[in-house]
Amino acid sequence: MATPRFPDRIVFRLFIPIVALGVTMLAGCATVPTDPAAKAEFEQLNDPLEPTNRAIFSFNDALDKVLIKPIAQLYHFILPDFVEERITVFLHNLDEPLTFVNDLLQGEPDRASTTFGRFLANSTFGVGGLFDVATDAGMPRHTEDFGQTFAVWGIGEGPYLVLPVLGPSNVRDGFGLLGDTFGDPVTIGLNQANVSGLELGRLLLTGIDLRARNLDTVEQLRRESLDYYATVRSAYRQNRRAEIRNGAPPDENGKGGFEDYQDFDDMDK
């Protein structure tokens, strides 16, 4: 009898909830300023482990410069635009089942219907997901994940985190990543078929493709930011809030989206 094993993606991400839980405990022990103005700023930033987060951020940034960015540049240089676009659309199509699951968990049957229709249309008429025929048919793409679902369920985001390699996050989204791993129908299907190595390839290709699509954007952000870390932190939070609102207008506090980036939650490499 074959010995069951976790999918590679699960092994890769098992450390996330442990890190998130540890940060939560440490954050609870963080010293809160007593000065009213300093306390208000502390609570607004919600980044009690900023020194640690900045150190991890610097590591991720260095790793990007010496490894991830060059790979993405080579990927972008070698592949014709048409081929690169087909890969992006194919990877997006593989994300549709996870979005469908979270649409249902969020009580959004209409959005779930759209997601199911997109996956069906693109997987058939779109030649196995290589072409996005669904958007032209009036079914625009949207994404959902377990971090967003937890937010809809009323779970607070918790302290801001920067995860090694994976980038900006928070406690809620850290646990959401684990939910994405165990709850992704594609991952489950690949594991059941005993080809979970393909899932690791999918994960790596998704990261490279994402980075290649944001080459110019990241460089502009680095170049123009007075504090790159603070800019990324603000951008991540605003983008996630916009995603959770499903594109609805900002609330009365003026919290809006950060729409210059594609899938920014995975971008801080």
Q: Which residue has the higher pLDDT, 108 or 252?
A: 108
Check if the beta carbon of residue 191 is closer than 8 Å to that of residue 7.
Answer: yes
Flag whether pLDDT at 247 surpasses 90: no
Q: What is the pLDDT of residue 37?
A: 66
More confident residue, 105 or 246: 105
Rounded mean pLDDT, 32-46: 68
Q: What are the backbone angles phi and psi of residue 234, rounded to the nearest 5°?
A: -65, -45
pLDDT over 70 (residue 68): yes
Under the banding of pLDDT at 50, 70 and 90, the label for residue 19 is: low
pLDDT tens digits along 149-179: 999 999 999 999 999 999 999 999 999 999 9
Structure confidence at residue 193 as a pLDDT band (50, 70, 90): confident
Could you give the CA distance from residue 231 to residue 2 in angstroms, rounded to a whole number?
49
The predicted pLDDT at position 200 comes to 85
Alpha-carbon distance 68 to 206, whole Å?
12
C-alpha 184/C-alpha 10 separation (Å) is: 11
Q: Please, what is the end-to-end C-alpha distance for the chain in angstroms?
A: 40
pLDDT averaged over the chain? 84
Q: What are phi and psi of 153, to 5 degrees?
A: -75, -5
| pTM of this structure | 0.81
